[in-house]
Amino acid sequence: MARLITISNRLPISVKVKDGNFIYEQSVGGLATGLSSTGAKENWWVGWPGMTIKPEDHDSLTARMNHDTLQPVFLNDRDYENFYEGFSNKTVWPPFHYFKQYTIYKKTYWEAYRKVKMSASEEVKKIAQPDDVFGARLPVNAAASCSVRHSLMQLLAFSCIFALLYELFRSCPWRKEILEEY
């Protein structure tokens, strides 16, 4: 059976520091629990490890995480603020939950999304194999998987959020660019 690679904002674990060492804390959530029983020979996850990691620790932590079929996408503080807290939580989340009045469109959020999407694409390319099946956790993650589609790819899409109505999507200043990515 092919490997399943899930591309998500966050990994199914959070990295923490305890007594100067990195430890994992299991994330609780329906998707992480559900995918653990898919039957795929390997379930890989690509996403943010839950905290900002110093660049000098990236290689050693990546090696450890790869052993556990995790591929981290490291974010610095600015990317975390503008992509994760900004674009994901203030630009994408509100309209998908019909709270258009809380949606914030900022160019810095959009630029961070594009930067993190490219970083995620590079991380996917590091582990991808020709028969892999890719699952994109949210629409913002599907773009990262689509950017490697030329050489590989079966893409599954699954989401914990509702389909976005055209009336809400058309207010996004980057709607054309987002649609072109797919």
DSSP state of 55: G
Q: What is the CATH number of the domain that holds 97?
A: 3.40.50.2000
Domains of the chain: total = 1
Per residue in 81-126, pLDDT (tens digit) is 999 899 988 998 888 788 889 999 999 999 998 899 888 888 988 9
Beta bridge partners of 74: none
Average pLDDT, the chain: 79
Per residue in 1-41, pLDDT (tens digit) is 678 888 888 888 899 999 989 999 887 655 555 555 555 56
Q: Which domain holds residue 142?
A: 4-181
Beta bridge partners of 155: 134
> For the whole model, what pTM was predicted?
0.80
Helical segments of the chain, H only: 30-35, 58-67, 77-79, 93-96, 107-127, 139-146, 166-169, 175-181
Helical segments of 42-130, H only: 58-67, 77-79, 93-96, 107-127
User: For residue 151, which phi and psi values (nearest 5 degrees)?
Assistant: -105, -10
